[in-house]
Amino acid sequence: MYLLFHNDFDGLASATLLREKLRTWDITTTRCVSVDYGNNWTSGWPDEAPGAFAVVDYEYHANALLYFDHHATSFRTESHREHYELRCAAGDTVLLDPTAPSCTSVIAQWAGWTQRYPNVVALANQIDQADFTSVEDYLFGRSTALDLLHTFHRTTEFERLSIMTALEQDNPDEASWVVRSTAQELLRYREVQVRLSESHCWMNGSVALFDARDVSNLRFVPLHYYPEAAVVCAVATSANHFLINVYANPWSTASHLHIGTLLSTYGGGGHANAGVVQPFKTYHDAWSVAYEVAAQINASVSYGNIAEFAFTS
């Protein structure tokens, strides 16, 4: 069986726990493959899985034998939601809990493994919820969570397999050792990156806009310069395309609109406080949508009707 997981730490940790559960059922995992927003995989058999597959921490797929997620934007269409509900009623192993802090916690609860994997669940919760003390802590601190967060998209497939092996033992510290040298190297240049980023971010109402093409791994860096911002909206690059990342300021209570639901109208998705839209072929296309998103956020904040905003969870 193939395990398809969202391309972030929570997705990898979710795949780790589900792979371990499948082993107890004598089901062999052929490969764990990361996927990300922007493809059309919900409308056919996914290219990433030539055989039977499960999906964790990502959009619903009708052909997945097993499905786990915690995003409120898991369904591209209403027919996908209806299909999911039919499978739930039939007793299939499909589980969505938008109130959960991470998909890892959803799987641990389902498997009865909250006591077996307390450290992995706590780590996934912290990273996925951006639970850090301040923007300075996020940018310049060192911890297991921060090292794994900042290095995740630089890890090789071998390193990810090594991280999964450590997580299987509920040992996040050992997992962080896999990326420690990379984390040290990144931190060495972070002050320079942050300083260079100042000219790449600016305020637009309550939104900090960010040209993150060169520093896309530092998603909260605009808050170092604009701590009053309610939301960060960044245009970054990934492989051969552009994407938009949107994050609520985790150290502010200024905004409570559901970012993931807002971005789902553009083909993206995410959580209440974070989301992504991709792919865009050109830089201009990405910024056109980014300014639209910022305008909708600003409209909701300026009228003080955040709770009544059209896009709610």
Question: What are 172-209's pLDDT values in tens digits?
Answer: 999 999 999 999 988 888 888 899 899 999 999 999 99
State yes or no: pLDDT of 44 exceeds 80: no
Distance, CA of 27 to CA of 217 (rounded, Å): 36
Give the pLDDT band (50/70/90) at residue 169. very high
State yes or no: pLDDT of 302 exceeds 70: no
* pLDDT reported for residue 28: 87
State yes or no: pLDDT of 311 exceeds 60: no
pTM for the whole structure: 0.86
Contact 56, 6 (CB under 8 A): yes
Distance, CA of 44 to CA of 62 (rounded, Å): 9
Q: What is the DSSP letter of 266?
A: T
Return the bridge partners of 276, or none: 245, 269
Quick: pLDDT tens for 221-242. Answer: 999 999 999 999 999 987 778 9
Domains and CATH numbers, the chain: 2-127 (no CATH), 201-308 (3.10.310.30)
Q: Higher confidence at residue 307 or residue 147?
A: 147
Residues 6 or more apart in contact with residue 18 via CB below 8 angstroms:
3, 54, 56, 66, 68, 107
State yes or no: pLDDT of 280 exceeds 50: yes
Mean pLDDT is lowest, of 36-50, 195-209, 255-269, for 36-50
Highest mean pLDDT among 106-120, 225-239, 248-262: 106-120
Distance, CA of 287 to CA of 134 (rounded, Å): 28
Distance, CA of 199 to CA of 47 (rounded, Å): 40
